[in-house]
């Protein structure tokens, strides 16, 4: 286990929307990190060293101790291998890879190298998620549903990779819902799914999924990228203690009409606190359940072809 | 751990082609088992108790100690749950389930119940597979390829379930190749795939898959169900010790033109020996790597629509 300095010398790979919107502001407010380099084909960050590739960055900045990998999932494994081989701690944006098996390989490699690997799921760190988990653990759940409907044109404008094979389509936001559901509900598995593919795209624009648990709880999920107007990121449960609604992507918990927990979203600051924690304690945090469900949905699901999607 | 008698009192669920062709003959030659009941919607076996469902069989024959589940994978979980809940050891035909997550659930349940769960992969027990594994462990592999091409009309005549969502299509035989490949090669993961779906079917008729390993070995797989004439079930490797060909579905190993191992196929007798072994030792044997690769291929793969398939 290499010792890590304080603050941790960090690099970021893949400077796009999520890095500018979330990673840079979260790091600006966290004394645990010193961002010293970025690598990106297109994006630049002022005031620090910029490189065209992770390989160039790793070679030029040997003092790097950790890297955050924020490129599309199809390219994440190769970068993660390079970073782990160089003995760096690795923070993986979600989804952690293009396949479950490749992330299992990274997990083995991190153990071999004695460094920390973090498969981050930002929605799991939404402010009311822990309150929802505690509430559900205190009662009997009779039925549950996930409604995750948003406007892809608003949230992923012209992001071509997301529509390509391996880009996951509507499962890119849907996996956020699954990262919460797999944290607050007992272990689930898919019993049926229907995936809707636009006739001109290689990834689904909508999905309806049925889960059950070993306790025979039925959980339905409805993912749709064609939602204009109000956006829905909600998880509902009927319980012995009343109806639970975890809304706003995990920001607000309401039970039987009463607000139990509401707080401003601060997911990425929490993610970076967690990453520092596992680096300091020499552990890893790699839960593949959300990605496993997506792979299972693709394997088991029926496919329907729907109207072409033009960005 | 319930003690198990000798011979083990066994039931079979789902009496179709694979049971008549393989399970019944293998059991007839194995003193470890006493087949006392079957459950099937359509099939019957003479001379023992027949039931319309696993629930009816479990209720009527409490002396059953183990069950083999041979119905299509879409229905396997519910039957396995019923059997495990009743404290029976369970033999799962391949693939062990319709999703990876549901088999993980069964694995947890088997531990809770103190019974054995066997996710069987019959091709892994083909006679020359262990010789191939030993040979590959003794040398450096430079490249490998899997060619699994057969005539679906010959091997799966009018099997509707295999073409439905969750029936896996050409991955039904392809997973046999993967069960060998994951046993003889280092851990692999998929880097790209193309799946061909007949325009009138919900499952693929062909697939081309690229794998790599952590050691950067490239392994290609070519699955096709449209092969008339000679059938191909071959795995090739270029090595420091020459070209290896494992052919006939794992029956024959040839290195540089010399036959190293050739033996008549006896996969199911070996499977039932293995099942008795894990029951006697109170362990389970559940390797999900082959099914994981299929799920990953569906998630990551490009889809192409091809000519309709009429049985």
Q: What is the mean pLDDT of chain B?
A: 96
Q: Is a pLDDT exceeding 70 seen at residue B1?
A: no
Rounded to an integer, the average pLDDT of A215-236 is 97
A197: its two tokens? 């593919």
Chain A residues 214-243 within an 8 A CB cutoff of chain B? 214
Tell me which residue of A184, A293, A211, A215 sits closest to B112, measured CA to CA: A215
Partner-chain contact B187 A108, CB within 8 Å: yes
Instruction: Spell A194-215 as b/e; 16+ CB within 10 A means b.
Output: bbbbbeebebbbbbbbebbbbe
Residue A227, phi then psi, degrees to nearest 5: -85, 110
Q: How large is the ipTM?
A: 0.94
pLDDT at B77 over 90: yes
Residue contact B99–A189, C-beta within 8 A: yes
Contact residues for B112 (Cβ-Cβ < 8 A; gap 6+): none
Each domain of chain B, given as residue ranges in start order, spans 8-119, 123-266+295-306
Of A29, A35, A28, nearest in space to A9 by CA: A35
Across A34-38, average pLDDT: 97
Q: Which two tokens stand for residue B197?
A: 């779906």
Smallest Cβ–Cβ distance between A300 and the set B165, B214, B293 belongs to B165
Q: What is the pLDDT of residues B199-216, one digit of tens each?
A: 999 999 999 999 999 899
Query: Model confidence over B139-154: pLDDT tens digits?
Result: 999 999 999 999 999 9
* CA B195 from centroid of its chain's CA atoms: 20
Which chain A residue is nearest to residue B169, measuring alpha carbons? Answer: A299
Q: What is the mean pLDDT of residues A144-170?
A: 93
**Does the pLDDT of residue A172 top 50, yes or no?**
yes
Report the percent of chain B where pLDDT is more than 90: 91
- Whether residue A259 lies within 8 A of chain B, CB to CB, comes out as no
Q: Quick: pLDDT tens for A73-87.
A: 888 999 999 999 999
**Average pLDDT in the A30-37 region?**
96
Q: Which of A104, A295, A301 to mutate to test the interface with B (most CBs of B within 10 A)?
A: A295
pLDDT tens by residue, A152-163? 999 998 888 899
pTM: 0.95
Residue A236 phi/psi, 5-degree rounding, is -115, 150
Tell me the backbone φ, ψ of residue B222, rounded to 5 degrees. Answer: -125, 105
Tell which wins on pLDDT, B304 or B74.
B304
User: Which pLDDT tens digit goes with each residue over B180-197?
Assistant: 999 999 999 999 999 999
Could you give the percent of chain A with pLDDT greater than 70? 99
Cβ atoms within 10 Å of A146's Cβ, excluding its own: 24
Cβ contact (<8 Å) for B100 and A187?
no
The CATH classification number of B123-266+295-306 equals 3.30.360.10
Distance, CA of A251 to CA of A71 (rounded, Å): 26
Q: With b meaning 16 or more CB within 10 Å and e meaning fewer, what string describes B171-187?
A: bbbbbbbbbbbbbbbee
- What is A8-119's CATH number? 3.40.50.720
**pLDDT score of B2:** 52
């Amino acid at each position: 286990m290499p010792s890590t300095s304080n603050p941790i010398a960090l690099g970021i790979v893949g400077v796009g929307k999520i890095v500018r919107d979330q990673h840079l502001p979260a790091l600006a407010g966290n004394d645990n990190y010193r961002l010293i380099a970025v690598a990106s084909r297109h994006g630049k960050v002022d005031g620090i060293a910029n490189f065209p590739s992770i390989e160039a960055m790793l070679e030029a900045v040997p003092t790097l101790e950790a890297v955050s990998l924020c490129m599309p999932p199809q390219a994440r494994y190769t970068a993660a291998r390079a970073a782990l081989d160089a003995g760096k701690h690795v923070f993986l944006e979600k989804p952690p890879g293009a396949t479950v098996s490749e992330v299992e390989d990274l997990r083995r490699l991190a153990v071999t190298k004695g460094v920390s690997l973090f498969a981050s799921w930002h929605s799991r760190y939404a402010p009311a998620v822990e309150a929802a988990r505690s509430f559900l653990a205190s009662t009997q759940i009779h039925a549950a549903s996930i409604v995750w409907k948003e406007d892809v044109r608003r949230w992923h404008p012209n992001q071509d990779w997301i529509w390509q094979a391996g880009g996951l389509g509507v499962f890119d936001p849907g996996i956020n819902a699954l990262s919460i559901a797999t944290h607050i509900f007992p272990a689930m598995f898919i019993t049926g799914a229907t995936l809707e593919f636009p006739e001109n795209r290689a990834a689904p624009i909508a999905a309806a999924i049925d889960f059950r648990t070993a306790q025979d709880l039925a959980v339905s999920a409805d993912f749709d990228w064609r939602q204009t107007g109000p956006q829905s990121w909600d998880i509902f449960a009927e319980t012995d203690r009343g109806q639970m609604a975890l809304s706003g992507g995990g920001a607000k918990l309401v039970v039987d009409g009463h607000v139990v927990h509401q707080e401003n979203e601060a997911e990425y600051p929490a993610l970076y606190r967690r990453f520092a924690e596992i680096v300091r304690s020499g552990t890893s945090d790699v839960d593949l359940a959300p990605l496993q469900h997506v792979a299972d949905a693709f394997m088991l699901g029926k496919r329907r072809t729907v109207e072409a999607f033009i960005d």
